[in-house]
Structure 1
Amino acid sequence: MSQSLARILSLVLALGLSCASPAAAQVYAGQAVAVDGDSLEIGSKRFRLFGIDALEARQTCTRREQAWQCGEEAAATLRGLIRDESVSCDQKDIDRYGRIVAVCTANRRDLAQVMVSMGLAVALREFTTDYVEWEELARQRGLGIWAAEFQRPSEFRAGDEESAREERAMLAEQQRRQSVRNAQELSRRAAASTSGVYYRNCAAARAAGAAPLYRGQPGYRSGLDADGDGIACEPYRGNRG
């Protein structure tokens, strides 16, 4: 087997392995915005709190024979917990909507644990038992939903048309993003197979001593040629004033 073919096969195997492990653990941190009682955003990334299911924002419960906007309270509580705090999220998985499922903390507090212990979310035993004890404690103390009549969030979503529309929209967006990733992957593999040389980015090309790359040279591709002048990874010239 030639060295060139061996490099191509190694690249394809590496790419395949990276695509098969989208949930590789990462830690994200920064200012966050609460979407509802169990999901939040840090920049362009959306996170779902691992191991719990909070009341939906539109969900209404009954407490002391009065309507209680329990879903709004859950969302407001999470907003309060992360306000002016840096949030750290330790990735556990990626759900089918493309959200990062993570254990998130703010001011050293596990946000999922706080939501469950206040009676504003239920523990998802099928994923972890970490929050079962806190749910039982909230139930014993009659906190939040445990002093009210309520539907489990999953049951509410199943009968709520707006939730169904949001789910379809999230799935469609996830499919669109996956299609883009697949197209990019095919482009990378095509570049590697046709030239036998592939640089993931300009830093890799420079590290290999190959930069700048000219159109037609092995390793050149339009994705590295930001200004489209036929020269990729040329030295940055900056503003001369």
Structure 2
Amino acid sequence: MLRFCFALVLTSLASVALADLSGPLRVIDGDTVAIGETRIRLHGIDAPENGQFCGNRTAPMWPCGSWISGEVRARFDGRSARCVAMDIDKYGRTVARCAVAGEDLGAALVRGGLAFAYTRYSSDYLPQQAEAARRGVGLHGAGVESPADFRKAARRGHDAQHLASAPEGCEIKGNISNRGDAHIYHMPGQAWYGATRINLVKGERWFCSEAEAQDAGWRRAHH
């Protein structure tokens, strides 16, 4: 009897968690929102993590994760949404499709280049991703590492504590300020060279020449 009651409670809780949700959105990051006390992971999309940086040799490093969160917040925070729950993920979040003014939110974000189709779980938004890539909007063409690859690197131990060794012949240290608004490189022999540490997850990197650092949009340290 006790086992039956416990199963009944679990079933009831699951039904509540997977019920349709509606109300004003609170944006948490590029692919996570909340309605009331329910945190919702948007189905089928993946956006850069808040601490993720993007860039490459032709595009200066920039805080794409926080930018994406800000863009999604500016466009959708406080707007009324209706979400249809599909699952509960391992973090206890409700996985759902959400619509704002009748438009699928996941589709809108992928089409606008603010998120990627999360093909590990769904291929629903591949057409919108192809359209965004063709137009070169948002994250496309900005040297963006896959959010999944970024998280995988962090799990392997490339976190804030992990320091990379300089590749052979590439000893110039590219450092990013704590606020993410200054990209400075330090040459061997400069005052702060020895104390500067490189955190690859943050977007910091080694350069092989001053020209390479400057082409990437970094400036030389004053001392």
TM over 0.5: yes
Q: How does 1:25-174 map to 2 (within 5 A)?
A: 25-62=18-55, 64-160=58-154
**Displacement of 1:163:** 10
1:13 corresponding residue in structure 2: 4
Structure 1 consecutive aligned stretches of length 4 or more whose deviation exceeds 6 Å: 161-165
The alignment partner of 1:90 has SS state of: strand
Give the letter for the 1:80 counterpart. A
Distance 1:15 1:36, change over 3 A: same
Query: Which structure has the highest helix share of the two?
Result: 1
Tell me the distance in 1 between the aligned counterparts of 2:143 and 2:11: 43
8 Å contact from structure 1 (residues 123, 135) kept in 2: yes
Tell me the distance in 2 between the aligned counterparts of 1:22 and 1:38: 24
Query: Which structure has the highest strand share of the two?
Result: 2
The alignment partner of 1:160 has SS state of: helix
8 Å contact from structure 2 (residues 26, 78) kept in 1: no
Tell me the distance in 1 between the aligned counterparts of 2:21 and 2:107: 19
Task: Render the CA deviation track for 1:27-84: whole Å, top value 9, x for unaligned.
Answer: 1111221111000122221110001111111111117522222112211122123234
8 Å contact from structure 1 (residues 29, 86) kept in 2: yes
Tell me the distance in 1 between the aligned counterparts of 2:123 and 2:59: 32
The higher relative CO (CA closer than 8 Å, separation ≥ 6) is in 2
8 Å contact from structure 2 (residues 27, 77) kept in 1: no
Give the letter for the 1:138 counterpart. A
Tell me the distance in 1 between the aligned counterparts of 2:132 and 2:152: 25
The alignment partner of 1:144 has SS state of: coil
Tell me the distance in 1 between the aligned counterparts of 2:94 and 2:88: 5
8 Å contact from structure 2 (residues 113, 132) kept in 1: yes
The alignment partner of 1:147 has SS state of: coil
Q: Of the two, which has the highest radius of gyration?
A: 1
8 Å contact from structure 2 (residues 87, 95) kept in 1: yes
Give the letter for the 1:47 counterpart. I
Tell me the distance in 2 between the aligned counterparts of 1:20 and 1:148: 45
Tell me the distance in 2 between the aligned counterparts of 1:143 and 1:128: 22
**Displacement of 1:150:** 1.4
Higher deviation after alignment, 131-140 or 65-74:
65-74
TM-score with structure 2 length normalisation? Answer: 0.61
Count of paired positions? 156
8 Å contact from structure 1 (residues 29, 42) kept in 2: yes
The alignment partner of 1:103 has SS state of: strand
1:232 corresponding residue in structure 2: none
TM-score with structure 1 length normalisation? Answer: 0.57
8 Å contact from structure 1 (residues 57, 75) kept in 2: yes
